[in-house]
């Protein structure tokens, strides 16, 4: 078999006839043509074998061995005797008027799905940034037709499309991204959900403590159970404990103040997870202030509440925590008590529901990486396409 046939097979272009092949330290140039055969006129659908002339087209292809590859294609222009029109022979590797191969465009999109920034992909493939963005815009991710049974909603700081925050919808049960919305505003969310016809099929709405999301769920998904993610609930108690520590810390000697600040993790860690030497250090810290000891005890009560295995058990432990927090009269826990008064119904739903916002929060972190690598996105459609490419 001729050497050119092996080269064509390696390039996955077995139908071409290679006439020349040159290589340098950075580039590879392949000169080729297609076998002559009768072609159908695109204007009158007549069959012709009459060649009018030849023209050389230089097409950029996938890199080979780290070198930029250029295809010098000697293409035929046929003449149709029936209608008198001229047309080029069909070539599957590149679209009409394109100077890059189709597979190079797909490879660029593939690199974008690996969470690389546009500038990195353009430099790697020796293409312009505008070309990569054109390929990115060509990828379409339409709005889904149906809502999932379990829907999680959250927001992230995207600063795209003139909005500071964008909304994210995920399917916690399937660990998949559902959609990205340009705004988290109530009007934007209402307009989005109005188009779905299966709103009654949604069984769970998982969210953080956002009044807009709660009112939206009540209006559009009356049959769904609203579930507050446990992580956002625990933060209120840890914040309250930290505020007590900071208040006590300011009253201490500078040496003890530094020790308290560096040992803050002892207060936040579950008591059951502390080693014996850590327990001794914790006892020293709690002995400095009665308020700090009470706050720590309340934290442990709340951690015990969060470990409940059923709604019935959680309800009893939550009532006990509320009584203890009210009796403590610590002002730092007032915000926590107010939150529980407003959201306890939906927090308790979490003990009957196996779904959380964990996947959504992880997706938000991945989106932050994409945004940071690109130094931000101003165009929301590009940002949305970029997220879907990387996360689906």
Give the chain's mean pLDDT. 88
pLDDT reported for residue 304: 92
Summarised one tens digit per residue, pLDDT across range 244-286 is 888 888 887 777 777 777 777 888 888 888 888 888 888 888 8
pLDDT reported for residue 19: 85
In sequence order, which ranges of 139-229 are alpha helices (DSSP H)? Answer: 186-193, 211-220
The domain ranges of the chain are: 3-99, 150-229+355-377, 231-349
Q: Is the CB of residue 8 less than 8 Å from the CB of residue 14? A: yes
Does pLDDT of 1 surpass 60? no
Question: pLDDT band at 32, cuts 50/70/90?
Answer: confident
Q: How far apart are CA 14 and CA 101, in angstroms?
A: 16
Summarised one tens digit per residue, pLDDT across range 323-381 is 999 999 999 999 999 999 999 999 999 998 888 888 999 999 999 998 988 888 888 98
pLDDT reported for residue 226: 93
For the whole model, what pTM was predicted?
0.79
Could you please state the CATH topology (level 3) that the domain comprising 150-229+355-377 is classified under.
Answer: Nucleotidyltransferase; domain 5 (3.30.420)
pLDDT reported for residue 2: 58
> DSSP string spanning 310-354?
SHHHHHHHHHHHHHHHHHHT-GGGHHHHHHHHHHHHHHHHTTT--
Q: Which of 4-13, 205-214, 295-304 bottoms out in mean pLDDT, i.e. has the lowest? A: 4-13
Share of the chain above pLDDT 70, in %: 97
């Amino acid at each position: 078999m001729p050497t050119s046939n092996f080269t064509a097979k390696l390039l996955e272009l077995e139908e071409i006839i290679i006439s020349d092949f040159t290589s340098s330290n950075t580039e590879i140039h392949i000169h080729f043509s297609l076998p002559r055969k009768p072609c159908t006129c695109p204007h009158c659908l007549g069959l012709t074998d009459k060649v009018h002339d030849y023209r050389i087209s230089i097409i950029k292809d996938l890199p080979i061995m780290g070198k930029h590859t250029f295809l010098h294609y000697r293409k035929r222009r046929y003449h149709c005797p029936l209608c008198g029109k001229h047309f080029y022979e069909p070539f599957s590797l590149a679209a009409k008027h394109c100077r890059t191969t189709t597979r190079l465009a797909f490879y660029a999109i593939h690199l974008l799905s690996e969470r690389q920034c546009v500038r990195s992909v353009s430099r790697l493939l020796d293409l312009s940034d505008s070309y990569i963005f054109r390929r990115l815009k060509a990828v379409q991710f339409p709005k889904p037709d149906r809502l999932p049974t379990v829907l999680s909603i959250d927001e992230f700081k995207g600063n795209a499309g003139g909005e500071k925050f964008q909304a994210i919808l995920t399917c916690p049960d399937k660990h998949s991204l559902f959609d990205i919305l340009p705004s988290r505003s109530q009007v934007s969310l209402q307009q989005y959900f109005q188009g779905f016809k299966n709103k009654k099929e949604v069984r769970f709405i998982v969210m953080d403590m956002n009044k807009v999301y709660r009112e939206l769920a009540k209006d559009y998904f009356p049959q769904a159970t609203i579930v507050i993610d446990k992580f956002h609930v625990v933060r209120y108690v840890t914040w309250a404990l930290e505020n007590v520590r900071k208040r006590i810390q300011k009253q201490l000697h500078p040496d003890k103040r530094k020790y308290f600040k560096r040992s803050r993790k002892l207060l936040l860690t579950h008591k059951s997870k502390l080693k014996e030497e850590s327990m001794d250090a914790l006892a020293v810290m709690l002995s400095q202030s009665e308020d700090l000891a009470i706050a720590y005890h309340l934290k442990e009560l709340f951690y015990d509440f969060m470990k409940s295995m059923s709604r019935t058990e959680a309800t009893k432990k939550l009532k006990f925590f509320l009584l203890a927090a009210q009796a403590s009269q610590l002002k730092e826990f007032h915000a926590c008590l107010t939150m529980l008064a407003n959201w306890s119904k939906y927090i308790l739903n979490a003990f009957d529901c196996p779904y959380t916002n964990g996947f959504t929060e992880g997706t938000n972190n991945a989106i932050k990486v994409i945004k940071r690598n690109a130094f931000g996105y101003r165009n929301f459609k590009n940002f949305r396409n970029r997220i879907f490419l990387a996360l689906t």
